[in-house]
Amino acid sequence: MTRERDGAVDEEEASAFLLDLAKALHLAYQPSLLVETRVRRAAKAWGLDVEVFTLQSLAMTQVMSSRGPHVAFERLPFNPHWNLGRAAALLRLADAIAEGRMRLPEARPELDRIVATHAPYPEWLVFAAYGVYGAAVAARVGGAWWEMLVAFFVGLIAGLIHFGTLNSHRVDLQKSFLAAFLGALVALGLTLLLPPFNAVRALFGGVTLLVPAMVVTLGSLELALGAVEAGLPRLMYGLLRFLMLGVGIAAAGTLWRFGGPLPPHFEQHALPPLLTFFVVAVGGGALSVCMSGRPRDVAWIVGGVLLAYGTQVLTKMLLGDRGSPLLSAFVLGVAGLLYGRGRDRMPMTVIMPGMLQLTPGFIGTEAIVALLGAGAEDARLFNVLLVALQLVLGLVFATVVVPPRDLVDRGSPVPPSAGHA
């Protein structure tokens, strides 16, 4: 039972709560600077002086009390699944504490309730959404109907492996390998049954939500904002997951070669632009289910997806591939930060789905497939980091034009997703 006397919180119980809050925010896919800032502001509202330190797999708090510093830490798994609804609830809770609207006796059960809340959609719908979004991504990267069909089935497999094993964080790297291996075998097998199609685009569409391009981008963002100790491990972890996907694809290709050669690289004609735009919009609706977004945010999620896709198409026409990611991320970041200035709104509701349309995952997938002797010969894994850096710079520039609503302690930089929840 929490004890409070004369409005003062129990320091030991408050320390345990702050550590749990940091852990929950970390597992909700928040940048380390945002986690540390929100926990620090919550502690300040309760009259506590706290230092917070988070890494890829560690959260640590040090609460200064009348009896000296109290240090608590916990090793953390890394959850690669986005849950926008839970993230919004956690940020609202942190804001309520920081604004003095919630004390520890109310905050503890609220945090426990948020953490225990299940996804708002039934599992069968989430699995179907993985397939639909995979088909939409295949169209977005230049595929047509057959690529979309294959990507749908590969997406179903990826959804079953990814979403179906969320309770087991220990198999994160293994399921990246398994999904890529089975997905590649399905894509290769369907080349024997269907008319010619581009297996690379179909495969990427199906496994796109397992590609750690957002992890790479988020780690690069933390590096750019000075959180080197947090960004570097996250960046290396993302690259490791890239390699696990590559090993899975390579293993499938090696196994396939025992029965015959790999199918030739087939360049399918893309869908008409307006039809592709519509398919991307449908994929945005499916993505809101995959990311456990709140039903009332579906329109905004779709809007972020279309804004990112449309901006990327226009900037490619004007600047080519070199400058398009930076400008697209800048436009998306400004839009998301403006959206986040509204009450009960979170910038990453727009930014995160939009960034998934810009992330360098397809470049990485092409580079991996190129190692098998198929696909784009000029693909290079280094291009993944170059695109990620452009995306980071675009978001950083957006925070200069539209400062986030929340100001960080002592004027330190704020991640672009650190708006009002």
pLDDT per residue over 326-385, tens digit each? 888 889 889 988 888 776 777 888 888 888 887 655 555 555 555 544 444 444 555 666
Q: Is the pLDDT of residue 85 over 70?
A: yes
What's the mean pLDDT when you consider all of the chain?
A: 77
Q: Is the pLDDT of residue 301 over 80?
A: yes
User: pLDDT value at position 275?
Assistant: 93
Residue 169 DSSP class: G
The better pLDDT of the pair 353, 132 is held by 132
266 pLDDT tier (thresholds 50, 70, 90): low
User: pLDDT value at position 230?
Assistant: 76
**What's the CA gap between 73 and 35, in Å, rounded?**
14
User: pLDDT value at position 82?
Assistant: 73
Encoded tokens for 217? 């981008």
Which ranges constitute the DSSP H helices of 99-171? 104-116, 123-140, 145-162
Q: Is the pLDDT of residue 5 over 50?
A: no
Q: Is the pLDDT of residue 268 over 70?
A: no
**What's the CA gap between 85 and 297, in Å, rounded?**
9
Q: Is the pLDDT of residue 205 over 70?
A: yes
410 pLDDT tier (thresholds 50, 70, 90): very low
User: pLDDT value at position 385?
Assistant: 63
Q: Is the pLDDT of residue 6 over 50?
A: no
**What's the CA gap between 114 and 83, in Å, rounded?**
11
Least confident range from 136-140, 199-203, 283-287, 304-308: namely: 199-203
Q: Residues 333, 351: contact at Cβ < 8 Å?
A: yes
273 Cβ contact list (under 8 Å, min separation 6)? 313
Least confident range from 222-226, 381-385, 397-401, 409-413: namely: 409-413
122 pLDDT tier (thresholds 50, 70, 90): confident
204 Cβ contact list (under 8 Å, min separation 6)? 137, 138, 141, 151, 211, 361, 362, 365, 366
Q: Region 126-135: what's the mean pLDDT?
A: 92
User: pLDDT value at position 305?
Assistant: 93
Q: Region 215-236: what's the mean pLDDT?
A: 73
Q: Region 255-284: what's the mean pLDDT?
A: 84
The helix/strand/coil state of 407 is coil
User: pLDDT value at position 270?
Assistant: 81
Q: Is the pLDDT of residue 279 over 90?
A: yes
Encoded tokens for 268? 């399918």
User: pLDDT value at position 414?
Assistant: 42
The better pLDDT of the pair 85, 280 is held by 280
pLDDT tens, residue by residue, 27-58: 777 777 788 888 888 888 888 888 877 777 77
Q: Is the pLDDT of residue 264 over 50?
A: yes
pLDDT tens, residue by residue, 188-203: 889 888 888 888 888 8
| Model-wide pTM > 0.85 | no
